[in-house]
Copies of this chain bind each other. A is one copy, B any other.
Amino acid sequence: MSDEPACPVPLPPPAGEVVMGHGGGGRLSHRLLEEVLLPAFDHPALHARDDQAVVDVGGQALAFSTDAFVVSPLFFPGGDVGELAVNGTVNDLACAGARPLYLSAAFVLEEGLPLADLARVVASMRRAAQAAGVAVVTGDTKVVQRGKGDGLYVTTSGVGLLPPGARRLTAAACREGDRVLVSGTLGDHGVAVLAARERLGLGDELRSDTAPLFELAQALLAAAPATRCLRDPTRGGLAAALVELGQRAGLAAELEEARLPVSGPARGALELLGLDPLFVANEGKLCAVVPPGEVDAALAAWRAHPLGRHAADVGRFVAGRPGGLTVRTAIGGRRTVELPLTDPLPRIC
């Protein structure tokens, strides 16, 4: 990336301590990335700010991604940490247009975790890997003392191959006028985990949407070959994904509130909790940025797939403050959305 400094000036050591918000999808999280992590590692693949790197390996374009999973509780309606860990990394690879191939799994176990829980998590990882057509081929297991962990953390990394000559799907490719599509209802994962953790008794209809999204990504790319960029809007929700894309592309995003798909059970729970579905994590949804001429084909392709039945065109990118986000309300008003400093829902993935 020619617009990035080749060698950043060394920074003074940052003051302060890590707070929960550094791990959310909000502004503190972005600041940590920009002030501590990116200057240190300084690689074009990182500056691209996509959810995976695409690197050359012997003349082939390899997608490579990693995610640490610290979700609490480990088991929740609709899934568990193991399924989440496999799908999360598979989806980051799929968002590059890659076919996910191989995963690694590294566990940090807390002394005292029931071995039956570990077995249940790995069985779930196995099923998720089979469903996604990938294999877990390497791993590591470490154990920490009681009070130095929380049952089980797992980090999955994955590699996948892009088809020869495939166009790069990247934030910087978004253009003014491009439409923003989502493949289904928003907020299901975050609200299901929160309800399970806090034992909110909101009924058993709230379920995580965790799912592998490779087929949905491929269906879209076949139907809408000029697609600019794909994201799975996890931590920080759709809002965080659009702000990040906009910052990188130098554009603002504008959403139509009435078009945002939210399931009935999630809507009720979100209202009760005072949470905006825009900020709540999804684990089985794609957000695509496509040129206007390909919107109909894209939506038709998604809606033909069981995971894309509620796909919708929810807004667009416009000229404006890079990373700005406004929402046009159903009654014709407009509100500016700022990412929260911290995360309203810690440890949901």
Contact = CB atoms under 8 A, between A and B. Distances in A.
A122 B36 contact: yes
A240 B25 CA distance: 42
Interface stretch (A66-74, A218-226, A257-265): A66-74
A285 to B, nearest CB: 19
Contact of A143 (B11, B18, B60, B109): B18
A341 interface: no
A45 interface: yes
A123 interface: yes
Interface residues of A, number: 84
Given A53-B104, A149-B149, 15 more contacts: A17-B113, A17-B115, A18-B112, A20-B143, A29-B141, A37-B139, A46-B136, A46-B137, A53-B102, A55-B101, A57-B159, A64-B159, A65-B138, A66-B139, A66-B140
Contacts of A119: 11, 13-14, 36, 40
B36 A108 contact: no
Interface in A109-148: 109-116, 118-120, 122-123, 125-126, 129, 135-145, 147-148
Contacts of A37: 122, 139, 141
17 contacts: A13-B120, A14-B115, A15-B115, A15-B116, A17-B112, A18-B111, A23-B143, A36-B119, A40-B125, A53-B104, A58-B161, A64-B102, A64-B104, A64-B138, A70-B108, A70-B144, A142-B153
A282 B135 CA distance: 30
Given A15-B116, A116-B13, A150 B153 contact: no
A53 B42 CA distance: 28
A259 to B, nearest CB: 31
Contact of A41 (B21, B64, B110, B139): B139
Main secondary structure of the interface of A (DSSP, over half): mixed
Given A46-B136, A159-B159, A107 B68 contact: yes
A183 interface: no
B43 A137 contact: yes
Nearest to A28: B143
B45 A111 contact: no
Interface string A16-35: 11111111100001001100
Contact of A136 (B36, B41, B52): B41
A104 B136 contact: no
A157 interface: yes
Contact of A125 (B41, B55, B109, B147): B41
A307 interface: no
A62 interface: yes
A310 interface: no
Contact of A142 (B70, B118, B140): B70
Closest 3 CB pairs of A and B: A23-B143, A157-B157, A66-B104
